[in-house]
Chains A and B, each alone.
Chain A
């Protein structure tokens, strides 16, 4: 049953990817991107990673879609036709894809218990999370406490991203505005004279 659900979800994601490539309307591309994120969130639920699924649904499908639409509001709604042939890009994508698939051949079977991922620090987190932090959701205790430094870094990244966008979009506009204003004031002065 799980394999069937995965198959359906992944097929739908592949179909949407083709749709995104072929579609010229950027509005449609953004909406398809949101649907892709929702399907990805469903895959995460099938994999029992509910925290990741929730993040994917709220960030990937929710806020990113809205922010992309807001960005579209400032640009054109149609994709400009590419001037060079897509052959080089296609070759590059095929080579990278083949290398990635070659890399998966060496991976251990999905979910096997004796891999380094599941034998290194994960058992310690699972056993000690409740006695040490009294937090039953191990994801939260790992993110908040055991890996608190990483999460601090993530918050700083978001802070920096927000700062950058605000500086780029707001700082520039004011200067243009004041230029227009000075021109208007100059024109008024000329008219008065």
Chain B
């Protein structure tokens, strides 16, 4: 493990910036390239890097498998929930225009919310698949 010193120090320094970049990609998706899908993969990459360098047990203390298993369907439910709320407010399924006072604001908020759903499902699915592979190899 002594040889891993540089890797471990570098990983510790780089992890917060990876999360920050994932959040930037998520919330800047309206203005530049990016969105929930890319941000989810980058956030998952952060957890996977942590697991690769510090071991699966350390990573699962931060993000346990039980949490991952709950987050995978949660993202789909957020997405579908936005659609259902739009229906209850008198619009069609996933018609965000009815979500806020005016249709432009509603569209913007709807896109932000469904991107959040995409982020949650993509990130947790990637982490979950990685955990499943590594646990199986032990």
Interface residues of A, Cβ cutoff 8 Å to B: 50-51, 53-55, 58-59, 62-63, 66-67, 70-71, 73-74, 131-137, 139-141, 143-145, 148-149, 151-152, 154-156, 158-159, 161-163, 165-166, 169-170, 173
Contacts and interface: CB of A to CB of B under 8 A. Distances in A.
8 contacts: A59-B38, A140-B35, A145-B96, A149-B94, A155-B121, A159-B121, A162-B121, A163-B72
Given A55-B38, A58-B41, A158-B125, A136 B31 contact: yes
Interface residues of B, number: 51
A139 B36 CA distance: 12
B122 A158 contact: yes
Contacts of B126: 63, 67
A168 to B, nearest CB: 8
Top 7 A-B residue pairs of the complex, sorted by shortest distance between their CB atoms: A162-B125, A70-B133, A144-B111, A133-B107, A50-B33, A169-B132, A58-B41
Dominant SS among interface residues on chain A: helix
A170 B69 CA distance: 12
A146 B31 CA distance: 17
A150 to B, nearest CB: 10
Contacts of A53: 33
B79 A155 contact: yes
Given A151-B114, A173-B135, A133 B104 contact: yes
Contact of B108 (A51, A59, A135, A151): A135
Contact of A67 (B30, B37, B105, B129): B129
B128 to A, nearest CB: 5
Interface of B: 25, 29-35, 37-38, 41-42, 44-45, 48, 52, 69, 72-73, 75-76, 79-80, 83, 94, 96, 103-105, 107-108, 110-111, 114-115, 117-118, 121-122, 124-126, 128-130, 132-137
A59 B110 CA distance: 25
Contact of B125 (A70, A71, A137, A159): A159
Given A63-B41, A144-B110, A131 B132 contact: no
B73 A159 contact: yes
A169 B83 contact: no
A95 to B, nearest CB: 35
A114 to B, nearest CB: 27
A119 B124 CA distance: 39
Contacts of A59: 37-38, 41
A165 B111 contact: no
B45 A134 contact: no
